[in-house]
Amino acid sequence: MKKQREKEILSLLVDRRRIEVTELSALLGVSQVTIRKDLDQLEKMHMIKRVHGFAQLSSEDDINSRLAWHYEEKTKIAEKAAELISDGDTVFIENGSCCALAALTIASAKKNVTIVTNSAFIADYIRNEPNVQIVLLGGIYQKESQCLVGPMIRESAMNYNVKYCMIGTDGWNEKIGFTNKDQMRAQAVRDMAASAEQVVVLTESDKFSAAGTVPLNLSRCRVSVLTDRNLSEEVKEKLKAQQIEIMTA
């Protein structure tokens, strides 16, 4: 793998929040100059912030810093997600770190794609990509998550009929299915899903260990999961039993 050292920096940073350049240099056995170049790179991708003497993750629950967590898996999931999309397609993408990365991958790899999203974060995240058109669904702006919720989402989403709606999730269990942290956002997911032929859940495999608080209730939709290699056979069986297709990145 190419940028192995950057991945190591990220996972150290996920643990420690904040590390000195000198310590990184000693830990990884390369010169400080090299570490600084890596950090510049990561900062350019908005994954970390550099301060005098340190590197640190962006503010706590910023999506940017959540990207640092399991970054490699997310990258692979995003690439696989992009393969589902053809030039000229329109795709719904919901809020979340995996979704953001998928949106960026699609926007940079495809031509003339329209990305419809309720996430102001994602719109901003991909706005430098020249070959993508972005539509932002309007609504009440949730300040921390930078996403839009409320009845306007449904109204606007009904103007579209697309093949894929990509969403994130917070957890899963056999009984209640995929979950979320927030009732308003869950409703936005349902409203977007209603205008798509197929819902694709983008998530790392470790989210399958426990359910969150708000069920997404996607039972009426055709649902697929796109996750990494580490999904247990046990969970795979349960998903298949519920007619949920599994794609592995």
Partner DNA sequence: CTTTTTTGGTTTCATTCGTAAGTTTTTGGA
Partner DNA sequence: TCCAAAAACTTACGAATGAAACCAAAAAAG
Q: Which residues bind a copy of itself (CB under 8 A)?
A: 120, 123-124, 127-128, 133-141, 143, 146, 148, 152, 155-156, 159
Q: Measured in whole angstroms, how far is the alpha carbon of residue 144 from the centre of its chain?
A: 16
Least distance CB 108 / a copy of itself (angstroms) = 14
Binding flag, residue 7, DNA (CB under 7 A): no
Selected from 44, 52, 175, 229, the binder of DNA by CB under 7 A is 52
State yes or no: residue 130 binds DNA (CB under 7 A). Answer: no
How far apart (Å, rounded) are the C-alpha atoms in residues 30 and 117? 41
134 sits in which H/E element: strand 132-136
Q: Is 29 one of the binding residues for DNA (CB under 7 A)?
A: yes
β-pairing, 54-57 vs 48-51, is: antiparallel
Amino acid at site 230:
N
Q: Does 230 bind DNA (CB under 7 A)?
A: no
- Cα 67 from Cα 62, distance rounded (Å): 9
12 touching DNA, by CB under 7 A:
no
Within 10 A of 77 (CB to CB), how many other CB atoms are there?
Answer: 26
From 152, 62, 43, select the one nearest 100 (Cα to Cα): 62
For DNA, the closer of residues 54 and 69 by Cβ is: 54
Does 36 bind DNA (CB under 7 A)? Our answer is yes
Tell the smallest beta-carbon distance from residue 229 to DNA (Å). Answer: 24
> What, of a copy of itself, DNA, none, does residue 22 touch, CB below 5 to 8 Å by kind?
DNA
d(CA 68, CA 82): 20
Pull the structure tokens for residue 125: 């995240």
CB of 17 to DNA, least distance (A): 16
Tell me the site size for DNA, rule CB under 7 A.
18
Note whether 215 and 187 are within 8 A (CB): no
Applying CB under 7 A, the residues found at the interface with DNA are: 2, 5, 20-22, 29-34, 36-37, 40, 50, 52-54
